[in-house]
Amino acid sequence: MTLTQFGGLFVVYGISLAFILILIYQEFRRVRFNFNIFFSLLYLLTFYFGFPLTSVLVFQFDVEIVPVDSLLHAMLASGCFYAIYYVAYKTRLTYKTRSDNEAHIGHCAHRDPLKPGTLMMTSPRKPLFTMNRVETNLAWLLLAGIAIVTVGLFFMQNGFLLFKLQSYNQIFSSKVSGVALKRFFYFFIPAMLVVFFLKPTKARWLCFLVGTVGFGILTYVIVGGTRANIIIAFALFLFIGIVRGWITLWMLFAAGMMGVVGMFWLALKRYGLEVSGAEAFYTFLYLTRDTFSPWENLALLLDNYSKIDFQGLAPIIRDFYVFIPNWVWPDRPNLVWNTANYFTWDVLNNHSGLAISPTLIGSLVVMGGVFFIPLGAIVVGFLIKWFDWIYEAGKQESNRYKAAILQAFCFGAIFNMIVLAREGVDSFVSRVVFFCIIFGLCLVAAKLLYWLFESAGLIRKLVVNNLAVSRKTSVLLDVRKENGVE
């Protein structure tokens, strides 16, 4: 890459970056936090954070990269995708024709057509589900129990893999048993989110950080170097702090830099690298780029566009194979042909053992070519809008137990959004469906357990005696009158 080519890329990069940052800042000033802001920051990290790192690698260490034309196409595709996504997200699916006060009255009553001067009250719409204190506590205990039990089972079968394996890609080998259990480890975080949202105080916020990061470090050592739970726990801690006003933007950026350094150190331990001096700086650049911003993977995929045999929606279906046990499907394929594996094995002919992430846009290209990019942007825009709708419903919910469940569900799905941006649509769909099923089953199980406990007489209900309350109120009024207070 020459300086002239770098200058052209930098202009496109600067315009796209400024465009996205302005939209994020406007949204932040309006609502402070929603899932559009989170996804936008995640998108920015995935597709734009890596360009400066790539530039330093090229001009400082003479690293060979993807042809400049493909890098330019990747930048243009990223900018166009976000523009279409933002328009789709901002599209209003319903329209307000009355003021909020009129709408509220309309929900509560309607006029009797026989008597124009009268109002007939209508019953409010019944909620889809409700939660009480016992059910909510049972739900988070079930979620945490699933995570802890599966971690224990995985440890009993494999021990501490970080100290047993010689290389990171061995965690995908046949030597490691119980690989499917790893998908349940994450449910410890939604469990702790429910605990926090039941009583969102600073003390519980800090306890959330200690508990989830500690659990993430434990899984890092047991699994053999998987950092996802640590990254997600730390990110959730920061975003909750932003929402509550407990940390500022500058504190967020400083913590983010600390997180980057921490992830680099964990990557060194995972790969068993001993580096120093210029080699350490070089290693930091490429590991940080590959961890947080695999944007060059998209450019590499576009550079091999002619080799792609479009897969349609089949990769989404194939990605569900990993959730089917062998005893249910004995002939289940050992290799899942999703977009990442197809890109790595078939397009690049790379059989090193690690799949190369195609990114969100790359997965769309593998499935349907460049024409799938705008369609995917529209779908993602509506999807993030749906998560924001649930999040707002949780914030406005008067039942604090149901509110905690709804908000924990939304924040718990952040991991799936990271998968969406970094890994692709097919990986996201399978994981979000799995997450919703397990989360929903825990809620159903909590309600069934509550019903059983209540039937067995193990739950005491606090019944308020109306007569006692009225007597207490009258006594208080008499005392106020005696003291001269009306």
Q: Is residue 125 pLDDT above 90, yes or no?
A: no
Give the Cα separation of 241 and 236 in Å (integer).
Answer: 8
Q: pLDDT at residue 479 above 50?
A: no
The whole-number average pLDDT for the span 269-273 is: 77
Residue 439 domain flag: yes
Is there a domain that residue 91 lies in? Answer: no
CB atoms near residue 316 (< 10 Å): 21
Residue 59 lies in a domain: no
Q: If you average pLDDT over every residue of the chain, what do you get? A: 84
* Residues 433-455, mean pLDDT to the nearest whole number: 93
Residues 398-413 have a mean pLDDT of 92
Residues 381-416: b if buried by 16+ CB within 10 A, e if exposed: bebbbebbeebeebeebeeebbbbbbbbbbbbbbbb
CA angle 300, 304, 305 (to 5 degrees): 115
Question: Which pLDDT value is given to residue 169?
Answer: 66
At 97, the pLDDT band (50, 70, 90 cuts) reads: very low
The predicted structure's pLDDT at residue 118: 45
Whether the predicted pLDDT of 120 surpasses 90: no
Mean pLDDT of 116-142: 73
For residue 106, pLDDT beyond 60: no
Helix (H) or strand (E) holding 442: helix 425-455
Please determine, for residue 178, whether its predicted confidence score (pLDDT) is greater than 60.
Answer: yes
Look at residues 31, 209, 32, 143 and name the one whose alpha carbon lies nearest to residue 405. 143
Residue 202: closest CA among 235, 240, 236, 248: 240
**Percent of the residues in the chain that have a pLDDT greater than 70, as a whole number:** 86
The residues, any chain, with a CB within 8 Å of residue 118's CB and separated by 6 or more, are 111, 112
Of 216, 301, 307, 305, nearest to 263 by C-alpha is 216
User: In this predicted structure, what is the pLDDT of residue 124?
Assistant: 58
Strand partners, 120: 110
Report the pLDDT value the prediction gives residue 173, as an integer from 0 to 100: 66
Q: Which residue segment(s) compose the domain that 282 sits in?
A: 129-455
**b (16+ CB within 10 A) / e for 213-224:** bebbebbbbbbb
State what percent of residues in the chain have pLDDT above 90.
49
Mean pLDDT of 363-392: 94
Query: What are the respective helix, strand and coil percentages of the chain, to the nearest 5?
Result: 75, 0, 25
pLDDT score of 485 more than 90: no
Is there a domain that residue 138 lies in? yes
Question: Average pLDDT of 4-27?
Answer: 93
The pLDDT confidence band at residue 471, using thresholds 50, 70 and 90, is very low
- Number of domains the chain is built from: 1
Determine contact, residues 26/89, Cβ cutoff 8 Å.
no
* pTM, to two decimals: 0.83
Residue that wins the pLDDT comparison between 303 and 125:
303
Residue 206 lies in a domain: yes
Highest mean pLDDT among 283-287, 377-381, 481-485: 377-381
CA distance 473 to 467: 10
| pLDDT band (50, 70, 90) for residue 153 | very high
Residue 270 token pair: 């995972």
- Residue 367 resides in a domain: yes
Per-residue pLDDT reduced to its tens digit, 74-87: 999 999 999 999 99
Look up residue 475 and give its two tokens. 């006594």
Q: Is residue 475 domain-resident?
A: no
DSSP 246-303: SS-HHHHHHHHHHHHHHHHHHHHHHHT----HHHHHHHHHHHHHHHH--HHHHHHHHH
199 domain-assigned: yes
* Biggest CA-to-CA distance, the chain: 92
The C-alpha atoms of residue 85 and residue 78 are separated, in whole angstroms, by 10
Q: Which residue has the higher pLDDT, 162 or 415?
A: 415
φ, ψ of residue 381 in degrees (nearest 5) = -60, -45
Give per-residue pLDDT as tens, 25-71.
999 888 888 999 999 999 999 999 999 999 999 998 888 889 999 99
Report the pLDDT averaged over residues 264-278.
81
Residue 468 has pLDDT above 60, yes or no: no
Distance CA 443, CA 467 (A): 36
Does pLDDT of 473 surpass 50? no
In this prediction, residue 231 carries a pLDDT of: 86
pLDDT of the residue at 123: 52
Distance (Å, rounded) from C-alpha 352 to C-alpha 422?
A: 20
Q: Which two tokens stand for residue 328?
A: 């249910």
Task: From residue 319, give the alpha-carbon distance in Å to each of 173, 206, 429, 470.
Answer: 18, 36, 8, 62
**pLDDT value of residue 110:** 46
Q: How far is CA 479 from the centre of its chain?
A: 56
Q: In the predicted model, what is the mean pLDDT of residues 225-247?
A: 86
Q: What is the pLDDT of residue 95?
A: 58
Calculate the CA 281 to chain-centre distance.
30
Lowest mean pLDDT, pick from 79-88, 209-218, 280-289, 463-472: 463-472
Cβ 347 vs Cβ 308: under 8 Å? yes
**For residue 321, what pLDDT is reported?**
84
Q: What is the pLDDT of residue 176?
A: 76
The per-residue pLDDT for 175 is: 73
